[in-house]
Structure 1
């Protein structure tokens, strides 16, 4: 299917955010959450409004500018880049909600911070007059400590079967439990959301299948492509930044450590083009999302390219971490931190290479 509505080329000015990300990278890794200064800077850089519909003052921007900005920020602090990217991505999901909910979320401005826990669906949603009662726990909601709203997914009855619905819940209606104890991406504060029979009106819900197809051509391009075309691409962008940052760290402050060892220099020479190749893969995937034909093959290709980019990042940081030897074993070592971040981010289900590669090969071979 050819989509002709192309998003505006909204650019995100990340200059101040990069400075703060670099300044606080070690601190946020230790505290397991971003500093408020960094959150303020990502708002100033206009990440939260990047995909917000223009009707509410948003940019309805493209995927290529977001990916490039996320990579740039990720070179300094992958956790900051991860949260910034997801605040943007969750605004895109919220744009599928009914208009009354969008008015509630963005009526006072487009810079609302939205966290989410939608995969896998969790908790229990019980239909009641006028809406739903939500109860349960939803894990891994990045940046939720700073969120104004959270999007939560649950499996619900649908005729003779089931479907998944996404529910928008304001910050006063949920509790955050501090559960994020991961090896990497520590600063993302990817904690758990808890609800106990919280009422969500019908107008604050949307069925997940609506995100998986295309919509009316009257919609902005960014709101008219399937979730599966772009999700993995956005998840991979901070990892590419982390790998490029590890290369840059070895080139600058670690030059004296690496230069006497030819094996270490070869590791740097191999890892640098791997990280650059990952960046090129994401740039092409983002451009397809902004301007290309949307069909099953393109969706499979974008998903596979993003997973391949993540694998390249893993390979690059593994080699650099090994090349650092004993110098890289300190917990606050900047290369080790990026090594932990890349491995943690690459563990996301959207970036698993085997299923992505199988789906793409089937699409190429016309196997359904």
Structure 2
């Protein structure tokens, strides 16, 4: 079947008229169930099959899938707002959803029309991805690839339809270069190796193994690393008549993590507010925490930090989308790094709110294992071990941004 026929044969999304507000409202409506089942999610190491089914019916797995292939194509801001709501209720669930469904954007941006017609044939798209190259690849006589290896920390793998990763192959200069590839679900095996970490135990971040998996050449992009790919010249921008499918992937990846941090911190605020309404202060005279000036101060400071972080992330999303809509040359590395720097500061604000204000003043009974604030503290701590936060945002981004701004001070500031 040719590409035009594949597109024509793709059924429309289940609810063609659904919009951003409805999708966010659906995520918010699921919150009570997700909060209630956090411990169960951690024990299982991923959210339950019935939750997955509710996400599927709600259309969450199609938010970033192009309309041409049965998706809603609602844009990055809608996707990240849904992510915030889910992470607010259950950090593990939000993380697993976000890092599974997010990679519809690079798939629809970087691969050609024929590959996309196959990749998105199922409508719903869940595709964990890793950025560290691993494994081995051999070019076959028919031009396709045989790939083997194990990639760890593949968040979203339990309900995945595909897997996206990198492997090193011979480059044009005689050295080694990364190759981005997508493997359909029947080409790989999920490992039972997740759940013993400090936090995000229910995030479905299992390892994935390929053994002599035959990957069609159309599902590979030699010389491409997802975080550094120039999507402005890739097929997606024009194929879907949407500039967001031509935006910088580096900034988008970090916006995901920043949105998750905001959602988690919002959840800690929710739990702390409930304590203020229902618990007395520790010291005499005994008054409700809601009437205590100290608890008011701690909560108010934390709320201000998280509100500022959320505003910064949403503004950064709008900057990212606005730059996508401008001529590709305008989306410079400096501007991409400036968006990443906003993400860095938003995450720092969220962590300061939880670690510095809410966790130490919630009381010992509120930070026992399994309590909501304790869980957010563990999950936000573990978020910092993600390479995008612990390495890229903590060290690489500030240095690169400084070099870019000193060299071209007008860039990244408009």
User: Does the pair score TM above 0.5?
Assistant: yes
Spell out, residue by residue over 1:114-146, the C-alpha distance to the aligned partner (whole angstroms, 9 max, x if none): 2222x1111111222221111111001112011
Q: CA deviation at 1:337?
A: 0.3
CA distance in 2 between partners of 1:84 and 1:222 (Å) = 20
Q: Does structure 2 conserve the Cα–Cα contact (< 8 Å) formed by 1:314 and 1:346?
A: no
CA distance in 2 between partners of 1:10 and 1:221 (Å) = 18
CA distance in 2 between partners of 1:229 and 1:194 (Å) = 28
Distance 1:56 1:122, change over 3 A: same
> SS at 2:30's partner residue?
helix
Correspondence 1:42-121 to 2 at 5 A: 42-95=55-108, 96-107=110-121, 109-117=122-130, 119-121=131-133
Aligned to 1:170: 184
TM-score, normalised to structure 2, is 0.81
Q: CA deviation at 1:304?
A: 0.8
Total equivalences in the alignment? 359
Aligned to 1:362: 403
Structure 1 unaligned segments of length 5 or more: list them: 1-7
Aligned to 1:4: none
Moved more, 231-240 or 84-93: 84-93
Correspondence 1:203-218 to 2 at 5 A: 203-207=218-222, 208-209=224-225, 212-213=229-230, 214-215=232-233, 218=238
> SS at 2:214's partner residue?
strand
Spell out, residue by residue over 1:208-265, the C-alpha distance to the aligned partner (whole angstroms, 9 max, x if none): 2576211365241221101012110012211111101101111113441552875544
CA distance in 2 between partners of 1:307 and 1:59 (Å) = 29
Higher RCO, 1 vs 2 (CA within 8 Å, ≥6 residues apart): 1
Aligned to 2:412: none
Q: CA deviation at 1:182?
A: 1.6
Moved more, 211-220 or 350-359: 211-220
1:271 equivalent in alignment to 2:330: no
Q: CA deviation at 1:204?
A: 1.3
Spell out, residue by residue over 1:2-38, the C-alpha distance to the aligned partner (whole angstroms, 9 max, x if none): xxxxxx9744232443343223222112322111122
CA distance in 1 between partners of 2:175 and 2:395 (Å) = 29
> SS at 2:198's partner residue?
coil
Correspondence 1:246-325 to 2 at 5 A: 246-255=268-277, 256-257=279-280, 259=289, 263-292=294-323, 293=326, 294-319=331-356, 320-325=358-363
> SS at 1:114's partner residue?
coil
Q: CA deviation at 1:175?
A: 1.3
Aligned to 1:152: 165
Q: Does structure 1 conserve the Cα–Cα contact (< 8 Å) formed by 2:65 and 2:125?
A: no
Q: CA deviation at 1:97?
A: 2.3
Q: Does structure 2 conserve the Cα–Cα contact (< 8 Å) formed by 1:47 and 1:87?
A: no
Q: CA deviation at 1:346?
A: 2.7
CA distance in 2 between partners of 1:312 and 1:303 (Å) = 14
1:127 equivalent in alignment to 2:149: no
Question: What do you get for the CA RMSD once the two structures are aligned?
Answer: 2.2
CA distance in 1 between partners of 2:30 and 2:107 (Å) = 24
Q: Which of structures 1 and 2 has the bigger CA Rg?
A: 2
